[in-house]
Chain A
């Protein structure tokens, strides 16, 4: 598994990247896209929505199955990647580049309690 070490991860296979302005991008990991197969539909959450940590906020559908995407931390959705509506295959091509939504955490420190690359790798291969 080749995992960027500058990201944080969840046990539900999201990656979380700090944008440096108090917001964080969220996508699904390369491991997750590989498990799902060809992705044909992505529905990110709508900006403005307030979410709790672990709440279902959207869906990724592959040729095989539908899979929920979750909020890594509590906060407000502040952006969604509209490009994925017409090009969902970008998640297969570049999982760590294809962000799905941006969140502004209620408490920025919450993101530091997420998994680091080593911990995620252990969780994903368990």
Chain B
């Protein structure tokens, strides 16, 4: 039996097409994935992300434990409620998971991990805690619902649904969270748009969902979530990186805190790493198909592979992430094996879209200026 979130019946009643996602029965879309995508770029969309797992890490040893377990440094969480993106690595430097860690003080943290990896993460973290941090506690929070409200009007519509939240969240800076009205409200997301991620007791999930929908926030499924994160240049665990891929080969070097003397799991392997790969965006320049994961790429310095690909509703063309030979630079023309054809694509810097705007030159404009 697939696992269900507190909103499962609500999704079904809304006409969602449901799919299995990492063992969870989740909405793929509620009619049109493309319409849902545009709603997030132009107005506000609502995602059930209750399948992700919150793990509270508390106690005197919590800080030292997380400084050792995570490749980014939780000491960056200086102000209460601050959030940080980090990878959790194995000894070989592969990515066990990518996660968000919130800090509420040196003895109180919360990790939010991917749904499909939650069991694996706990099986890794708990023995590690037992070995190095007896005075830290790990508490998986299966009693919570999580809703993401994303888009240029997401905050205003959230305040319309929950007027009591406004005073405490109006000044909330990006990548910060605050506890308000029994909810944890974070100004974070996975779409490249402004908005909130709201964590609340599972029992309040349906009422909160309905209040947000009544305030004009459009229900969006995992399909739109994927095209939005792709445009926003955000990695997806299991596709762009996994246990056997180094963050250095997945465009995640910026998340590694390598300050001298800081020891964390995977660091030694990262320092030994050779032949790092470039990780960049691709834009299909002439059409003729759709870029997809696992397609082979021919670049000037050798072969590469697409890790995530699809159709970008915002740009109206196909885009992808690719692992390419080191030294492959934005602007280079490459060829991609799409079904039985070789199609031209251009290497671009990520992200493709942020806050509703295209950040990459589109080739029509390029032609005019070159």
Contacts and interface: CB of A to CB of B under 8 A. Distances in A.
Nearest to A89: B34
Contacts, number: 40
A59 B223 contact: no
Interface string B267-290: 000000000000000000001111
Interface in B118-165: none
Given A63-B311, A66-B339, A37 B223 contact: yes
B29 interface: yes
Interface string A39-53: 011010000000000
A40 B339 contact: no
Interface residues of B, number: 17
A38 interface: yes
Contact of A66 (B33, B223, B290): B290
A64 interface: yes
A80 to B, nearest CB: 15
Nearest to B288: A43
B129 to A, nearest CB: 39
Contacts of A64: 28, 33, 223
Interface string B177-207: 0000000000000000000000000000000
Interface residues of A, number: 13
Contacts of A41: 287, 289-290, 311, 318
A63 B227 contact: yes
B290 A40 contact: yes
Contacts of B17: 37
B29 A59 contact: no
A61 interface: yes
B290 A61 contact: yes
6 contacts: A37-B33, A37-B223, A59-B339, A63-B34, A64-B28, A64-B33
Closest 8 CB pairs of A and B: A40-B311, A38-B34, A61-B290, A63-B33, A38-B33, A41-B290, A63-B311, A37-B33
Given A40-B34, A63-B33, A64-B28, 20 more contacts: A37-B29, A37-B32, A37-B33, A38-B32, A38-B34, A40-B311, A41-B287, A41-B311, A41-B318, A43-B288, A59-B289, A61-B289, A61-B290, A63-B34, A63-B311, A64-B223, A66-B290, A66-B339, A89-B34, A92-B32
